Amino acid sequence: MGVKEINQPLPRPPGLVGEGNPAVPRGLAERLAMWSARRRVLVLVLWLLLTLTAYASSFLVPGTAIQDADYLDGESAVAERAVDTAEFDEGAMETVLIQSRSGTLDRSTGTAVAEELKRAYGGVGVLTVRGPNFSTDNRSAMLSVELDRGRGEDRKEPIEVVEPMLDATASVQKAHGDLRIEQIGAGSIRKDFSIQDAKDFRRAELISIPITLVILLIAFGALAAAGIPLLLGLTAVGAALGISGLVSALVPISPFQSSLVMLLGLAVGVDYSLFYVRRQREERAAGRSLHEALLRTAATSGRAIIVSGVAVAIAAAGMYFTNSALFDSLATGTILVVLMAVLGSLTVVPAMLALLGDKVNSPRIPLLWRRSQAASESRIWNTILRPVLKSPSLTVLLGLVLIGLMTAPVAGMKLQMPTDDQLPKSYPIVQTRDRLVAAFPGEGSSHTVVVEADPASAEQVRTAMADLMARAGATGQFSAVDDPRITTSVDGRTTRMFVPFPQRVDSPEAEQTLQLLRTELAPAALGGIPGATWAVGGSTAFSSDVSSALRERLPLIAGFVLLLSLIVMLLAFRSIIIAAVTTVLNILSVAASFGILTLVFQNTWAEDLLGFDSSGFVVAWIPVILFVVLIGLSMDYNVFILSRIREPLHRGADLRDSVRHGIASSAGVVTSAAMVMVAVFAVFATLSTLEMKQLGVGLAIAILVDITIIRALLLPGILMMLGKAPWKEHKALRRVPSVAHE
């Protein structure tokens, strides 16, 4: 049978339209498949143009990035925004560290190099250079450099003005190979992080793409069939990144967004198209024409892709309830890449299948091809399911015990935002910071007190803030400072002061000093200033406020996501029981993921394995994004498996045979799709930043739980215990539109 049959008019045979008569397209997925197949070249050209145009345009349109204050919440956000909107008569500060590679730094050498650096900084936007100051062990010298950031509307971020100084520092370093001359500050830190993050993700791409291709080759045994899902995944990521870049012209985006888009886009794009290609090949192997095969594929896998995609998008929309620019950005990126993956799977994949025809099965890889053409039902899974279907109650109990053991560590989960101590030690700028701190140890950390008042009260504000510092020192919990550094903005409205304390920023003692400052000391010292408002910020406040806000909003997010997911499954299967069962199973896989995440990252046993130093906590925003993403992804496999179970049931098959057939016949494609996701997520667990490691591990564990404990034990066991009741349509739901295959 050839490709030309796609272009023939659609037959309209008599009788009922449905599975017994698949030639007539009824739903959106079928109509898109037929339209795309007939206009296959046009569809492929339009998709390529969309991807390239969106991606290229994103570099031409000036976007906006999330500012520091947008990551914060509560009082710390108020303090940061007050500082951001005020204009202080100070530039961007950078510190230059000079050290001998062989030992002691001669003072004359250090002074001479410092003078050379000062000359090099002429004409690169440097306002002042202070120093050199020498360390007590005479091994290091330090310069404090202030960079011009401009004034008013022309004021720039530190990263925008630091490049010329970095070049000047590098040129002096090049002339002194026996010394280590390096630079650190707000601008250089961000610059180095952007470079290192880009290297990290390039490495992730170079590893994940070949692994994905190998898994697809094992699944299909043919290069063309394996290439379709991979190309769809990559182009969906490219298109989503491009559209996100264009959206950033209207709303600010987070640097984490591109990471999440790549992580989810490759996994979801490959998964959806893999299901589609695999089902089409099964239909062709059953002797159906290319036309019929595409229609049946669209009516089954195509509709399941729509349900799954809608579920993931709805779950991601739950992040908008955090009222955070960071999560708004992540939600937008997730929704865009999932929608692009769904659109591509429903249009581009049918177009490519129609274009290739039976050539989709070439070139064949002999051993892998024979394996892919094995029996449609997995022998291994038939063996696994035999005792499960025979003793469903015992099986469900075993599954719940296993999930319970994995979930147990959640009781000790500690949420916190990472500090400088959790920065990747492999980053050059972090190594510079560690050398600087070792050579010039400071007095610890500090809270930031920001006061906004009428300019006429500026002197009163400064007096009150000095009184605040004295009160803090008298408690014995803060570092004593005789001459506090109090700075006032150019317009006199905003005043800032740092209140130091001797503990680590992530210690319980630091939290105690924060609460003491906010609830007692600041009100007592600043309460007498007419019309003044104040806020306490800083690293400790940042972690405390964000963690507290996320804990408060998580129930609302969870409720929204679970309710809408329940509605989607209700529309898909017209069964309250099926919708409830899948929702509960999704919650169980997420809970297990949280438990393993706690076990791994709040202890030290996996440090060498994953390349991290245990922080003793889970990054506060990780559980939120894991929850919303995993609820959608977990539904992915449930939709495909349940659809396979329902097909023989609607043909009158026995429940036991239908459950066995649905799980065993989908075992190959579901396992392959899951392995793609696990592989991609596992690669991200090897990235340098703690956040990406935790996100990758959490996602990978949940998918593994889904395709093992959930699929092998809980889902078949529960379905057998419930009997055929869940599959009967309730009278009240008969008029509810179905979005799944019937």
Q: Are residues 65 and 130 in the same domain?
A: no
Q: Are residues 464 and 344 in the same domain?
A: no
Angle at which helix 715-722 crosses helix 622-650, to 10 degrees, equals 50
Q: Are residues 282 and 347 in the same domain?
A: yes
CA distances from 406 to 184, 588, 710, 726 (A): 42, 10, 13, 29
Q: Which residues are 145's β-sheet partners?
A: 94, 129
**pLDDT tens for each residue of 269-289:** 998 999 899 889 888 888 888
Would you say residue 725 lies in a domain? no
d(CA 44, CA 556): 41
pLDDT score at 251: 79
Q: Which residues of 187-216 are buried (b: 16+ CB within 10 A; e: fewer)?
A: bbbbbbbeebbeebbeebeebbbebbbebb
Q: Are residues 35 and 165 in the same domain?
A: no
Would you say residue 78 lies in a domain? no
DSSP at 288: -
pLDDT score at 22: 44
Instruction: Return the minimum-mean-pLDDT range out of 112-126, 513-527, 541-555.
Output: 541-555
Q: Which residues of 616-652 are buried (b: 16+ CB within 10 A; e: fewer)?
A: ebbbbbbbbbbbbbbbbbbbbbbbbbbbbbbbbbeee
CATH number assigned to the domain comprising residue 32: 1.20.1640.10
Would you say residue 10 lies in a domain? yes
Q: How many CB atoms lie within 10 A of CB 162?
A: 26
pLDDT score at 481: 79
Q: Are residues 241 and 358 in the same domain?
A: yes
**pLDDT tens for each residue of 347-368:** 999 999 999 988 988 888 877 7
Would you say residue 313 lies in a domain? yes
Alpha helices (H) along 373-457: 379-390, 392-407, 428-439
Would you say residue 410 lies in a domain? no
β-strands 415-416, 618-619: how paired?
parallel
pLDDT score at 426: 84
| H or E, element range at 637 | helix 622-650
Question: DSSP string spanning 293-324?
Answer: HHHHHIIIIIHHHHHHHHHHHHHHHGGGGG--
**pLDDT tens for each residue of 319-330:** 888 888 888 888
d(CA 62, CA 68): 19
Domain, as residue range, for 183: 87-191
Average pLDDT over residues 360-382: 75
d(CA 11, CA 28): 18
Instruction: Return the minimum-mean-pLDDT range out of 83-92, 142-151, 180-189, 233-242.
Output: 83-92
Could you tell me which of 16, 19, 15, 17 has the C-alpha nearest to residue 647? 19
Q: Are residues 34 and 132 in the same domain?
A: no
pLDDT score at 495: 94
Cβ-contact 332, 257 below 8 angstroms: yes
Q: Are residues 227 and 362 in the same domain?
A: yes
pLDDT score at 10: 39
Q: Is the pLDDT of residue 183 over 90?
A: yes
Residues with Cβ within 8 Å of residue 384, at least 6 apart in sequence: 712
Q: How many CB atoms lie within 10 A of CB 24?
A: 14
Q: Within 13 A of 132's CA, how many CA atoms are on the CB side? A: 27
Alpha helices (H) along 39-162: 40-60, 74-85, 107-120, 158-161
Instruction: List the Cα angle 704/329/344 in 5-degree steps.
Output: 60
Alpha helices (H) along 455-538: 458-474, 508-516, 522-526
Share of the chain above pLDDT 90, in %: 39
pLDDT score at 19: 40
Would you say residue 584 lies in a domain? no
Q: Are residues 271 and 229 in the same domain?
A: yes
d(CA 376, CA 269): 24
d(CA 423, CA 618): 14
Q: Is the pLDDT of residue 584 over 90?
A: yes
CATH number assigned to the domain comprising residue 175: 3.30.70.1430
pLDDT score at 198: 83
pLDDT score at 443: 52
Count, residues in the chain:
742
CATH number assigned to the domain comprising residue 471: 3.30.70.100
**pLDDT tens for each residue of 667-687:** 888 888 889 989 989 988 888
pLDDT score at 248: 80
Q: Are residues 364 and 451 in the same domain?
A: no
Angle at which helix 223-247 crosses helix 255-285, to 10 degrees, equals 150
Share of the chain above pLDDT 70, in %: 92
Q: Is the pLDDT of residue 442 over 80?
A: no
Q: Model-level pTM? A: 0.84
Q: Within 13 A of 395's CA, how many CA atoms are on the CB side? A: 23
Q: Which of 66-70, 298-302, 595-599 has the highest mean pLDDT?
A: 595-599
| Whole-number average pLDDT of the chain | 86
Average pLDDT over residues 77-101: 87
Q: Are residues 369 and 471 in the same domain?
A: no
d(CA 253, CA 61): 14
| H or E, element range at 146 | strand 140-147
- Distance of alpha carbon 587 from its chain centroid, rounded? 19
Long-range contacts of 726-734 (CB under 8 A, 24+ apart): 726/575, 726/577, 726/578, 726/581, 727/575, 727/578, 727/646, 727/649, 728/575, 729/574, 729/575, 730/574, 730/575, 730/576, 733/570, 733/574, 733/575, 733/576, 734/574
Examine residue 363 and say whether the peptide bond preceding it is cis (omega within 30 degrees of 0): yes
Q: Which amino acid is at 489?
A: S
User: Which of 191, 208, 232 is where one domain is finished?
Assistant: 191
Could you tell me which of 519, 632, 645 has the C-alpha nearest to residue 578? 645
User: Which of 543, 568, 584 is where one domain is finished?
Assistant: 543
Could you tell me which of 143, 115, 139 has the C-alpha nearest to residue 129? 143
> Residue 737: what are its φ and ψ, rounded to 5°?
-65, 135
d(CA 163, CA 94): 12
d(CA 14, CA 414): 64
Q: How many CB atoms lie within 10 A of CB 668?
A: 21
Q: Work out the widest C-alpha separation in the chain, in whole angstroms.
A: 98
Would you say residue 571 lies in a domain? no
Q: Which residues are 445's β-sheet partners?
A: 501
Q: Is the pLDDT of residue 739 over 60?
A: no
Would you say residue 672 lies in a domain? no
Residues with Cβ within 8 Å of residue 409, at least 6 apart in sequence: 595, 596, 598, 599, 602
The tally of domains found in the chain comes to 3
pLDDT score at 376: 60
Instruction: Return the minimum-mean-pLDDT range out of 370-379, 471-480, 730-739.
Output: 730-739
User: Which of 502, 528, 543 is where one domain is finished?
Assistant: 543
- Distance of alpha carbon 418 from its chain centroid, rounded? 16
**pLDDT tens for each residue of 624-642:** 889 988 888 887 778 888 8
Q: How many CB atoms lie within 10 A of CB 556?
A: 12
d(CA 557, CA 315): 9
Supply 2's token pair.
Answer: 């050839």
Cβ-contact 679, 266 below 8 angstroms: no
**Which is more confident, 1 or 312?**
312
Q: Are residues 320 and 227 in the same domain?
A: yes
Q: Are residues 61 and 131 in the same domain?
A: no
Supply 97's token pair.
Answer: 């560290």
**Residue 12's pLDDT band (boundaries 50, 70, 90)?**
very low
